[in-house]
Amino acid sequence: MKCSPAIFILILMVLTACEDKPIETKSGSLVLTGIKSAKGSEMVTIDLDSGYVNTNPVNCHILSSTVYDPNTGGYGYVSCDTVFTLVNTTDGRIIKSFRLPGLISSAVTDPENNLLIGTYGEYEYVLDPDSTNGATIPVFHTYLLTTNLETGDIVLDKEIDLGEGVFLCTHFFDPVNKLYILQRADNKLLLINPVTGTTTKTVDIGKHLINVVYNSDDGNLISLLPASEPGICMIEVYKPTTGELISSQQVTGIDSYHYCICAYDPGTKCYLAVNTDNEVMFIEPATGTIAKTVKLDYQLNDIRFLRKQAESF
Averaged pLDDT, groups of 10, the chain, 313 residues long: 50 34 56 80 86 86 90 93 94 94 94 96 82 81 95 96 83 92 93 96 92 91 89 93 95 86 91 86 95 81 77 48
Give me the pLDDT at residue 17, please.
34
Asked if 14 and 266 touch (Cβ cutoff 8 Å), the reply is no
Q: Which of these, 157, 160, 180, lies nearest to 101 by C-alpha position?
A: 157
Give the whole-angstrom CA distance, residue 14 versus residue 43.
13
- Domains in the chain: boundaries: 4-307
Number of residues that make up the chain: 313
Q: What pTM did the predictor assign?
A: 0.84
For the chain, count helices (H), then strands (E): 0, 26
Give me the pLDDT at residue 24, please.
45
| 90 beta partners | none
- CATH architecture of the domain covering 4-307: 7 Propeller (2.130)
Q: Which of these, 208, 207, 209, 211, lies nearest to 274 by C-alpha position?
A: 211
What is residue 218's DSSP assignment? T
Give the whole-angstrom CA distance, residue 78 versus residue 66.
7
Give me the pLDDT at residue 220, please.
94
